[in-house]
Structure 1
Amino acid sequence: MTGTPTTPTTPDAQRGVRATRGAAIGFAIDCYDIYLPVVTIAPALGYFMASDEVSPTIVSLVSGLIFAATLLGRPVGAVVFGAVGDTVGRRRATLIAMYGCAAGTLALALLPGFDQIGIASVFLLVVLRLITGVFLGGQYTGAIPLAMESSPPHQRGLYGGLITMGFPIAFCVVSALTYSVMSGTGSAYTAWGWRVPVLIGAAATFGFALYYGRTVDESPAFQGLAGKKQRHPALQLLSGEGARSLRQVFVMMTGVWLISNATSASYPVTLRSLEGVTSQQGTLVMVLAQVALIAAYPATGALSQRLGRRRVLIGCGVLAAVVAPLIYLAIVGSGATSVPVLTVLTIALVLSSICCFGCTAAYLSERFPTRMRASGYGIGYSVAVIIPSFYAFYESGLASFMRATHTTMVLYVVGGILLAVGAYLGPETKDVDLHADAALEGAR
């Protein structure tokens, strides 16, 4: 049973390394694509809108809508590709999703603007991001459970943290590409410069799909179930053990995503709007903070292997609810414009809020049995995105009765509480044998 320690088996070490490397690259590409609307498209919204509509408020709301569209497609992808991963194979689900994601990103680079088709350009942008989000939701649904099933049990926490390193790496890469193009082309960025990071993302995704198909083997845990008849995996998550796990994971991951959106999507906008802080300085500060996360995620994953996933996740929730709001308040209320000071405070904010991602890959994989693991992981991870994805609208509503720069603090408090409570309601999982229920199913 999920949540019950068993005697773990030891998968082939090289298989685990290849699967983890593939999942890490795939996760980085996934995050790169998610950051495109926030980092690359937002400065070029004038291409998709009439010049008299591009006010800071409209840009913020449209950027939030585009970002939300990408995230909202992911639950659909998790259901569709989760079923593929649990019935046909994790590897095949990952490959189909990655080729679809590459095609969607390429199409983004070819979109016409307002001058060509009017307001329909914004509509097409949102719809395309929604469709691409479906394939993004399928990519990690197969790749991450495959990597966890192929990893040495005593190192799953570390391997999971290495996978999520793709998150900050992607932010650094997309930011560097965007601002190098922006500084080199000036006003031409709005006309065509934004397409360069998008095209690079499409090429990287196609290349990764080819690499993954040639180097990564199917999960040994899934092979133990191949050919066995079972109910649709998504239906198994509606009752019994699967439903209980999904409810608990949903509460926890809703908190994780609220915190993540506060730090990765909302805070950068606030940082760049601080008096005396230029857009370039704000981006530099965020990139340096993300560099700190590159080391923090594996460290958090390894810590969860030693102390337990449950304990570490509860601790992360407390930090996000209590410490992160205080650091955020110090940033927006101090009037500091020094890049070194803002960098130190931002690193502290990032570390106190989203280190939890360092152990979510392992934890979510361990919460569901093999026969529904891809579906459980994908749906649990992605369905929880829906409510937090409208963070910009929540902040807009809160701004009617509190200072706009303080609304993000509410996201931290609510998200941290949900994360801590959700983790508390679940079992400890670090010693779960991900192959045990495969063997059980194969014997039926």
Structure 2
Amino acid sequence: MTQHTSDAAKEPLTTISGADAGKIARAAFVGTALEWYDYYLFGTAAALVFNRLFFTELDPTAALLAAFATFGVGFAARPIGAILFGYIGDRYGRRPALLITIVLIGVATGLIGLLPDFGTIGLAAPILLAVLRLVQGLAVGGEWGGAVTMAVEHAPVEKRGRFAALVQIGSPVGTLLSSGAFALVLLFPSETFDAWGWRIPFLLAFPLLLIALYIRSKVEESPIFQELLAQEDTAKVPALDVFRFAWGRLIVAIMSALLGVGGFYMITTFVVSYGTNTLGVDRQVMVNATLIAAVCQIFVTIFAGRIAEKIGPGRVTMWGGLLTAAAAFPLFWLIDTRSPLAITVAITVGIMLITVAYAVSGALLTELFPPKLRYSGVALGYNIAGATSGFMPLLATAMLTVSGNQSWGAAMILMLIALISAAGGLIGEHLRVKDRPIVRDDAA
């Protein structure tokens, strides 16, 4: 395994105030929350809307599989986005890359809300839906890696866990916003919901984009990247250098990130579909459960970020993976009871366990790669994991046909990816790169 070592000197890199570092992290959080809001909307809509309105010539199971396949297209596009925006971020700056990604995903999401369905324009409807999902995937492929890189590179080394975790809170906030929006429009009569109600959450992406873009435009460039520019030490083709010189670290990054992405979509997207379409549970119960889980996720994220500063993000990832693996089958047994309370407990506990590993992904992945390859390495690791695990709901749904609609196949998938992430965390803890310290004028 090829290893990079930091070229850092002992002297501090720069001086930055605590207020400035906090402002950068909060701006990264706001943008990431919007990105995940936009992205998660599609997952919920794939389970509740797109299978009926955009794939209507297929039988119900085939339509659901087609909707999840379109959902997965966004994940397949994410590594391409990681290469593209990683190039921009490692060559020209973290800031311009993040401004482009937020515009792309906001516009693509808003346009989904304006898209005619199959009954209006026929086959063009699912094709255009897939294209817009592709654009979402490209943008998210560059967003998360840049956001955590920006937040971490403005933070002191000893407090990176909390700043990286702040960016991760964008995920549950995005879930709250998207699930909350769908919970409200689901109050409409079914005919109204199908006619235009489901479009409202997507159309909200336009005003939210303007807010996030304004906040993010105020963010200054990373001091670590500014030093790379001053030293003319940027990589010409960062993604290629990651594959050539840091491939071992990339594999570890993929392994450690797998649970945070794949596990999340197993417990949300797949479980919402499984509960609604297979078990016959009211869809409002399933969506409300994800709302409660998202609130709990925020607190777990903060706690795990602080723990990572004490014992290391790799060890936190390992324990999160082991705990999730142990709970995989019991969680699905609870869901199979069809009890609203049991389902809510299962989804909430499942998300909380997965969040232990997810909360520290930013801290771990940014320290797996040296600064000149960091944006590309982080984005590639996270999004290759995303491309792999984005098809987990599709695979789990297909497994239902093999298992006679039993949940053991889905539980096995969750257990497997949890164990892979646990191993990635254990290895990653021993490969962390140390940057030169950043001195701050006041404590966070």
Asked if Structure 1 and Structure 2 have the same fold, meaning a TM-score greater than 0.5 normalized by the shorter chain, the answer is yes
User: 2:242 is matched with which residue: 237, 242, 249?
Assistant: 237
User: 2:110 is matched with which residue: 106, 113, 117?
Assistant: 106
Distance, in Å, in 2 between the alignment partners of 1:380 and 1:159 is 20
Aligned to 1:304: 308
Distance, in Å, in 2 between the alignment partners of 1:313 and 1:2 is 22
Distance, in Å, in 2 between the alignment partners of 1:129 and 1:165 is 23
Aligned to 1:24: 29
Distance, in Å, in 2 between the alignment partners of 1:276 and 1:177 is 22
Q: Deviations for 1:281-306, whole angstroms, at most 9, x for unmatched residues?
A: 22112211111101111111111111
From the superposition, tell whether residues 249 and 8 of structure 1 become closer, same or farther in structure 2 (CA, over 3 Å).
farther
From the superposition, tell whether residues 296 and 362 of structure 1 become closer, same or farther in structure 2 (CA, over 3 Å).
same
Aligned to 1:222: 225
Distance, in Å, in 2 between the alignment partners of 1:61 and 1:308 is 40
Matched to 1:48, the amino acid is: F
Matched to 1:173, the amino acid is: L
From the superposition, tell whether residues 243 and 410 of structure 1 become closer, same or farther in structure 2 (CA, over 3 Å).
same
User: 1:321 is matched with which residue: 308, 325, 332?
Assistant: 325
Q: Assess if the C-alpha contact under 8 Å between 2:399 and 2:410 holds in 1.
A: no
Distance, in Å, in 1 between the alignment partners of 2:371 and 2:39 is 28
From the superposition, tell whether residues 203 and 349 of structure 1 become closer, same or farther in structure 2 (CA, over 3 Å).
same
Aligned to 2:161: 157
User: 1:257 is matched with which residue: 261, 264, 269?
Assistant: 261
Aligned to 1:350: 351
| Structure 1 residue 272, shift from structure 2 partner | 3.3
From the superposition, tell whether residues 320 and 7 of structure 1 become closer, same or farther in structure 2 (CA, over 3 Å).
farther
Q: Secondary structure at the match of 1:174?
A: helix
Matched to 1:231, the amino acid is: K
Distance, in Å, in 2 between the alignment partners of 1:407 and 1:175 is 26
Distance, in Å, in 2 between the alignment partners of 1:82 and 1:373 is 8
**Kindly, what percent of the aligned residue pairs are identical?**
25
| Structure 1 residue 314, shift from structure 2 partner | 0.9
Aligned to 2:382: 381
For structure 1, which runs of at least 5 residues remain unmatched after alignment?
Answer: 438-444
| Structure 1 residue 136, shift from structure 2 partner | 1.9
User: 2:142 is matched with which residue: 117, 138, 141?
Assistant: 138
| Structure 1 residue 59, shift from structure 2 partner | 3.8
User: 1:72 is matched with which residue: 69, 73, 76?
Assistant: 76
| Structure 1 residue 391, shift from structure 2 partner | 1.5
Q: Deviations for 1:189-236, whole angstroms, at most 9, x for unmatched residues?
A: 2222222110112321232112210x2111100000115153311121
Count of residues paired in the alignment: 429
Q: Secondary structure at the match of 1:271?
A: helix
Distance, in Å, in 1 between the alignment partners of 2:239 and 2:161 is 26
Aligned to 2:191: 187
Q: Secondary structure at the match of 2:184?
A: helix
Q: Secondary structure at the match of 1:36?
A: helix
Q: Secondary structure at the match of 2:116?
A: coil
Q: Assess if the C-alpha contact under 8 Å between 2:157 and 2:437 holds in 1.
A: no
From the superposition, tell whether residues 270 and 285 of structure 1 become closer, same or farther in structure 2 (CA, over 3 Å).
same
| Structure 1 residue 331, shift from structure 2 partner | 3.0
Q: Assess if the C-alpha contact under 8 Å between 2:253 and 2:378 holds in 1.
A: no
Distance, in Å, in 1 between the alignment partners of 2:311 and 2:16 is 23
Q: Assess if the C-alpha contact under 8 Å between 1:318 and 1:417 holds in 2.
A: yes
Matched to 2:134, the amino acid is: L
Aligned to 1:44: 49
From the superposition, tell whether residues 355 and 189 of structure 1 become closer, same or farther in structure 2 (CA, over 3 Å).
same
For structure 2, which runs of at least 5 residues remain unmatched after alignment?
Answer: 439-444
Q: Deviations for 1:90-148, whole angstroms, at most 9, x for unmatched residues?
A: 01110011112222122222212223321221111012111221112122232220111
Deviates more, 1:133-142 or 1:306-315: 133-142
TM-score (norm 1): 0.89
Matched to 1:386, the amino acid is: A
Distance, in Å, in 2 between the alignment partners of 1:172 and 1:328 is 23
| Structure 1 residue 396, shift from structure 2 partner | 4.2
| Structure 1 residue 58, shift from structure 2 partner | 2.9
Distance, in Å, in 2 between the alignment partners of 1:274 and 1:170 is 26
Cα RMSD after superposing both structures = 2.4
Distance, in Å, in 2 between the alignment partners of 1:6 and 1:416 is 37
Distance, in Å, in 2 between the alignment partners of 1:174 and 1:203 is 14
